[in-house]
């Protein structure tokens, strides 16, 4: 009974590997190291390779007796995806199809998939529920929606899956040893930290004239360790015979950009240098989850609040920034 974690050397993957190990589960990580760091994986068995390499998947499944998979390995930069659709479809979609084919040839029929709230695009209603229409607005989000569909079609041939639709993953491990590298991310929290620590100019706040209480966009920030825990609950759900499912992983709380800045100032005791700039094209005003389904079917809920998220990010960035 070994869990194969693809992309386990990445940000969310490495936190999930830790959570699995902490529960005494057997784990093997497969990562191409194109974007991941091996140092994040710790002492867990590690194989360097690509998800589309059937020979490697075969070998790993046999050697480690893989029984289930958590699949993170993918490209995730939204802007880049619009410029390089071939690369994104090839890695995220074709790569996943090749992976699933090789897994099924080895009798592995349970997979937890790293999806994204980006599949909803700009939702008509918030909090957003899983039955909202999928209207991906980027190539990246399209690849996530297509893989969800592909996995759900594979239920008829025996594959069961949980697609976890992440909202805004943020924060770092409680011991401040792994976190979100700002050189690999355009997301708000690492950029706030970069500005705070003087590694960039002032943060650009993308618009303050939105119809929200303080005029800035709101999102659902979810602690990466809560997110990691959701993957384990999803595995347990599949091992308990659960059917294929797509499920939100968020807190249900909407937080504005200015609120993130304010908490970061309280936690660090310093001002976050920032300027109000124009709106970012395509930014939805407000996206936050209805997390009811995750609670009902996976028995999961978020345990950390925004202060924990920003506090852990600050601790990690301020001790490891270079
Ligand atoms: C991002 C991803 C999306 C992913 C989602 C959840 C992008 C464009 N989108 O969206 O695919 O599914 O996270 O993980 O990467 N902001 C600023 N200044 C900045 C950066 C961000 O004001 O320098 C604001 C944004 O306008 C937004 C909020 O901060 O209101 C969060 O932005 P970001 O971290 O990029 O996440 P999302 O836009 O939600």
Over residues 48-58, the pLDDT tens digits come to 999 999 999 99
Please say if 140 is a catalytic residue: yes
Q: Is the pLDDT of residue 140 over 70?
A: yes
Span from the CA of 168 to the centroid of ligand 1 (angstroms): 8
Ligand 1, atom 33: nearest CA belongs to which residue? 187
Please give the CATH topology (third level) of the domain spanning 182-220+252-288+304-320: UDP-galactose 4-epimerase; domain 1 (3.90.25)
pLDDT value for 183: 84
Marked catalytic residue, from 75, 88, 120, 140: 140
**% of the chain beyond a pLDDT of 90:** 95
- From the CA of 54, how far away is ligand 1's center (Å)? 34
Q: Which atom of ligand 1 is nearest to the CA of 167?
A: 6
What are the pocket residues of ligand 1 if the criterion is a CB atom closer than 6 Å to any ligand atom? 78, 116-118, 140, 166-169, 186-188, 191, 203-206, 217, 219, 257, 280, 283
Residue 321 clears pLDDT 80, i.e. is over it? no
- pTM higher than 0.95, yes or no? yes
| Assigned token pair, 105 | 């040839």
pLDDT, tens digit (0-9, with 9 covering 90-100), for 166-213: 999 999 999 999 999 888 788 999 999 999 999 999 999 999 999 999
What confidence tens digit (pLDDT) does each residue in 239-281 have? 999 999 999 999 999 999 999 999 999 999 999 999 999 999 8
State the average pLDDT over residues 288-296: 98
Atom of ligand 1 nearest to the CA of 77: 15
Averaged pLDDT for residues 284-310: 97
- As a whole number, the mean pLDDT across the chain is 96
> What are the residues whose beta carbons fall under 8 Å from the beta carbon of 225, sequence distance 6 or more?
15, 19, 171, 173, 174, 304, 312
Report the 10 Å Cβ neighbour count for 292.
15
What residue ranges of the chain are covered by domains with CATH 3.40.50.720?
2-170+221-249
Mean pLDDT of 85-102: 98
- Burial category of 1 from C-beta neighbours within 10 Å (exposed 0-12, middle 13-18, buried 19 and up): exposed
To test ligand 1's pocket by mutation, which of 74, 219, 272 has the most ligand atoms within 8 angstroms of CB? 219
What span, in angstroms and rounded, lies between the C-alpha atoms of 319 and 161? 38
pLDDT above 80 for 322: no
Quote the CA–CA distance of 112 and 71 in Å, as a whole number. 6
Is the backbone of residue 290 left (phi > 0), alpha (psi -120 to 50) or beta? Answer: beta
Average pLDDT (72-85) is 95
**Residue 312 pLDDT greater than 90, yes or no:** yes
Separation of 242 CA from ligand 1 center, angstroms?
32
- ω before 127 within 30° of 0 (cis)? yes
| CATH 3.90.25.10 residue window(s) in the chain | 182-220+252-288+304-320
**Cβ–Cβ < 8 Å for 227, 15:** yes
Report the CATH fold assignment for 2-170+221-249. Rossmann fold (3.40.50)
Testing ligand 1's pocket by substitution, the residue of 280, 288, 310 carrying the most ligand atoms inside 8 A of its CB is 280
**Cα-flanking dihedrals φ and ψ of residue 40, to 5°?**
-75, -15
């Amino acid at each position: 009974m070994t869990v194969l974690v693809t992309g386990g050397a990445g940000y969310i993957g490495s936190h999930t590997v830790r959570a699995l190990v902490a529960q005494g589960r057997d784990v093997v990580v497969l990562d191409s190291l194109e974007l991941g760091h091996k140092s994040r994986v710790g002492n867990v068995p590690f194989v360097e390779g690509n998800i589309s390499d059937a020979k490697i998947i075969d070998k790993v499944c046999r050697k480690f007796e893989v029984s289930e998979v958590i699949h993170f390995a993918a490209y995730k930069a939204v802007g880049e995806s619009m410029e390089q659709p071939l690369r994104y479809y090839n890695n995220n979609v074709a790569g996943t199809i090749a992976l699933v084919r090789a897994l099924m040839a080895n009798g592995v029929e349970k997979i937890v998939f790293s999806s994204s709230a980006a599949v909803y695009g700009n939702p008509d209603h918030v909090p957003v529920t899983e039955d909202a229409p999928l209207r991906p607005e980027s190539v990246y989000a399209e690849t996530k929606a297509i893989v969800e569909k592909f996995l759900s079609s594979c239920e008829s041939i025996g594959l069961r899956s949980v697609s976890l639709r992440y909202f805004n993953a943020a924060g770092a491990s409680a011991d401040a040893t792994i976190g979100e590298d700002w050189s690999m991310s355009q997301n708000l929290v690492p950029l706030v930290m970069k500005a705070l620590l003087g590694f960039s100019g002032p943060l650009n706040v993308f618009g303050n004239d939105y119809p929200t209480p303080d005029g800035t966009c709101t999102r659902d920030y979810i602690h990466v360790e809560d997110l990691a825990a959701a993957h384990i609950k999803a595995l347990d759900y599949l091992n308990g015979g659960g059917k294929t499912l797509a499920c939100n992983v968020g807190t249900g709380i909407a937080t504005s950009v200015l609120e993130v800045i304010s908490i970061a100032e309280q936690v660090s005791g310093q001002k976050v240098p920032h300027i109000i700039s124009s709106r970012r094209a395509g930014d939805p005003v407000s996206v936050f989850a209805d997390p009811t389904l995750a609670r009902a079917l996976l028995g999961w809920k978020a345990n950390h609040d925004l202060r924990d998220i920003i506090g852990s990010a600050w601790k990690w960035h301020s001790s490891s920034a270079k």
